[in-house]
A and B are shown apart, each in its own frame.
Chain A
Amino acid sequence: MTPLLGLFWCDLRLSLRQGGDIGLVLGFFVLAVLMFPFGVGPEPELLGRIGAGIIWVAALLASVLSLERLFAVDHADGGLDLLALSPAPLELVVIAKGAAHWVTTGLPLALISPVLAVFVDLDPRAISVLTLGLLIGTPALSLLGAIAAALTLGARRPGILATLLLLPLYLPVLIFGTGAVEAVLSAEGARAHLLLLGAITVAALPLAPIATAAALRQALD
């Protein structure tokens, strides 16, 4: 496990030291959400209804935005060779990097979401479910995103290409994430939606790293 823990800490420290990475993603997330009250008008009822959707879509976009750099730096500076030559399987290396990515993007996004929920007038009963949903669903965003980040290595416009590849893949996460909030508001209980969201993350945990590692091996060529 040492190689993977070392890599995890390295990526984490790199993000923290370059500070900007986390700040930019969080800033984008907050601003994107705050645009909506201005765009659709400050009627609490309307905002409250679409609030969860706004926050989830903004979280998806913020996640895509941050993924571009997941492997790009290592690809450019030769670090990818060293990752591939680690005795640890490349799939586990991907999980370590994905975990660091989640801690520096998905986790802060989820933690700041209650504040944003207030801005879009989300029903207070639904706020905890929104945050819980983001905590369960964002690891899947990082894992699925790693596939696109690896596939677009060396592409001319990796950011836009990754966005086109990813947003359809993110749809199930979006549907069950917002579905959980809807269910609470209509007093159905969010359990089923949250379980399905968890199922997506659990399924992505072994499958996405396999696909990502295959794409990275192609990129080494």
Chain B
Amino acid sequence: MDSGYVDTGELVAEGLACRRGERLVFTGVDCRLAAGGALVLTGTNGSGKSSLLRLLATLLVPAAGALWWGGAPVMREAARYRALVHYVGHQDAAKPAFSPREMLRLWAALRGVAAPAIEPALAAFALGAVADRPCRWLSAGQRRRLALARLVAAPAPIWLLDEPAAALDGDGEARLSELIAEHRRAGGRVVVATHQPLRLDDADTIVLDDFAASPEAALAAWQ
């Protein structure tokens, strides 16, 4: 499936700050992600785990700080960077009228992948039995599996996963851990925002509560 990635650049975030509405959520987050690296984001509810993931996916614009990929600012070549990123948020984006097979094909096409690995993706999360059923009949866990199957259908070196194990059963969690391990062995990187103790070998951890903006900093940013 993953056959190693040519891109060996390092993902570097410097002094990232995030503002939601009028609230400064966190400031001064630094991180580095080299080939094969893993980063776990933890923190209390509302500490900004999802926001940091969305910043890394370029879906949000940082209030301060910069994001670098392979030594160049990410936003300078945003399209090229986005093609390297898989973002699996907590919503599943599965259209009720389409089957998992159709959704996977569409998502891969959206990424410009001409020959997606649909069957391996379905097999990786044991979705074969429901592959041709409309998504409206899928359970929450099956929808999660479908969203994660995107990672296999169209390979990309950077995975940004938001609570990936939510709603997954034991089997699903095991499959996810195995997939992430395989991805990292092939030189891929992964950032996971999670509460659950997901098995990730030698991963760096960022506790976002440590970066919560002090009231003074929040006030300064607000003014």
Contacts and interface: CB of A to CB of B under 8 A. Distances in A.
B162 to A, nearest CB: 10
Contacts of B110: 3, 6-7, 82-83, 86, 88
B92 interface: yes
Interface in A54-105: 73-74, 77-79, 81-89
A77 B79 contact: no
A199 interface: no
B107 A82 contact: yes
Contacts of A82: 87, 93, 107, 110
B93 A85 contact: no
A10 interface: yes
Contacts of B114: 2
Contacts of B111: 3, 86-87
Q: Which range holds the interface residue count of chain B?
A: 20 to 34
Contacts of A86: 82, 110-112
Contact of B109 (A6, A13, A74): A6
A87 B79 contact: yes
- Tell me the interface secondary structure of chain A in the complex: helix
Contacts of A43: none
Contact of A77 (B93, B105, B109): B93
B92 A6 contact: no
Nearest to B85: A85
Contact of B89 (A2, A3, A14, A78): A78
A156 interface: no
B112 A3 contact: yes
B79 A81 contact: no
Interface residues of A, number: 26
A138 B160 CA distance: 40
Contacts of A13: 98
B140 interface: no
Contacts of A10: 98, 106, 109
A2 B57 contact: no
B94 interface: yes
Contacts of A81: 57, 59, 87, 89, 91, 93
B95 interface: yes
Contacts of A5: 109
B89 A6 contact: no
Contacts of B98: 10, 13-14, 17
A147 B185 CA distance: 45
B83 interface: yes
Interface in A112-136: none
A127 to B, nearest CB: 36
Contacts of B79: 87-89
Given A14-B98, A77-B92, A81-B93, A6 B59 contact: no
Among B89, B107, B109, residue most surrounded by chain A Cβ atoms (within 10 Å): B109
A77 B90 CA distance: 10
A192 interface: no
Given A2-B114, A77-B94, A220-B60, A87 B109 contact: no
A221 B105 CA distance: 27
Contacts of B64: none
Interface in B99-154: 105-107, 109-112, 114
Contacts of A77: 91-95
A186 interface: no
Contacts of A78: 89-93
Interface of A: 2-3, 5-7, 10, 13-14, 17-18, 73-74, 77-79, 81-89, 220-221
12 contacts: A6-B105, A6-B110, A14-B98, A74-B93, A78-B91, A78-B92, A78-B93, A79-B93, A81-B57, A83-B110, A85-B57, A88-B110
Nearest 9 CB-CB pairings of A with B:
A78-B91, A6-B109, A79-B93, A87-B83, A78-B93, A86-B110, A17-B97, A10-B106, A3-B112
Given A6-B105, A220-B60, 9 more contacts: A5-B109, A6-B109, A7-B110, A17-B97, A77-B94, A82-B93, A82-B110, A85-B85, A87-B82
